Amino acid sequence: MKQEASAQRNCPVCQTPCQAGLQPWHFVCPACKYEGTSLEPTINVQAMHDVVDEEERERGLRAIRTENFRDLISLIRPMTKPTGRKLLEVGCAHGWFLEEVGTEFQSLGIEPDDQVRNATLKKGLHVVGGYFPDALSPEDKFDVIVFNDVIEHIPSIKDALDACNARMNKGGILVLNLPNSRGFFYLLSKLLARVGWSSPFRRLWQENLPSPHVHYFAPDNLTRLVQQTGLVHEKTVELPSVRVKGLWDRLSCARNVSTVNLLVQYFGILTVAPVLRLFPSDISVGVYRKT
């Protein structure tokens, strides 16, 4: 659902009044460069699911997500205590991260999308329905809480981060895997939007999809926000944002995008892919600890 960002909004990081951005629903903090939107989630509205080919989306995303999740688990493993093995993934979707974790942790997933969750449950994974933290039992606490491409979809992000602190054991870690506002493709999409081609920019915000992005952070303003909850920054790393395998399926899962636009974006990405390592990645991972 689209809404104009006409009302004055304050930045969730530094409380500075935001300014109008590149679309009616887009706004930017002039101080810390946080970016947000007034786009609203419509997760369990069937009409919104009809604009997404979920099977094609799954094929497109699985290759890059699985490889990145393996790197992420390698990052997490040495940062956790041998006795602290309770892991929560918020917004576990198809369960790929939980599958890669296997029995290495005592894992639980939360997934609010009924359609996606029902498919994930058939894999035998431990997943509950609903939203974080309401879907949890009052006594549930974890040593690792992971958000894989999820935290940027949560409108009340400060409440979610406060809930993470409350639900973590002492010494536990919070892992935020999310898009980077300083990434190559995001900066390119903004440049193209300024010269009149807004389709890539709107696609990166997932406009007109069931769960649009409502935030875009850079590592520094994200860390500034998370530290306000009392967590301590441990490290920030980047993960690859493009793998050729599954790229076409990933782009074409939205049924409301023209074939011409898809072809231009697909071959454009293939053209620049070899030089991407020279620029900041569009995927950033921040790790924070409860001391």
Give the whole-angstrom CA distance, residue 185 versus residue 193: 12
Q: How many Cα atoms sit within 13 Å of 106 on the Cβ side?
A: 9
Among candidate residues 18, 132, 71, 89, the one with its CA nearest the CA of residue 283: 71
**Residue 81, pLDDT score:** 77
pLDDT digits (tens, 9 = 90+) for 57-76: 566 577 778 889 999 999 99
pTM confidence score: 0.86
From residue 29, how far is each of 8, 40, 206, 226, 265 by CA, in Å? 11, 19, 20, 17, 28
pLDDT digits (tens, 9 = 90+) for 219-254: 999 999 999 999 999 999 999 876 555 555 555 555
**Mean pLDDT value across the chain:** 87
Cβ contacts of 285 within 8 Å, gap of 6 or more: 72, 75, 175, 176, 177, 178, 236, 237, 238, 239
Q: Residue 149 pLDDT > 80, yes or no?
A: yes
pLDDT digits (tens, 9 = 90+) for 12-34: 999 999 999 999 999 999 999 99
**Residue 100, pLDDT score:** 95
Give the whole-angstrom CA distance, residue 47 versus residue 45: 6
Q: What are phi and psi of 245, to 5 degrees?
A: -65, 125
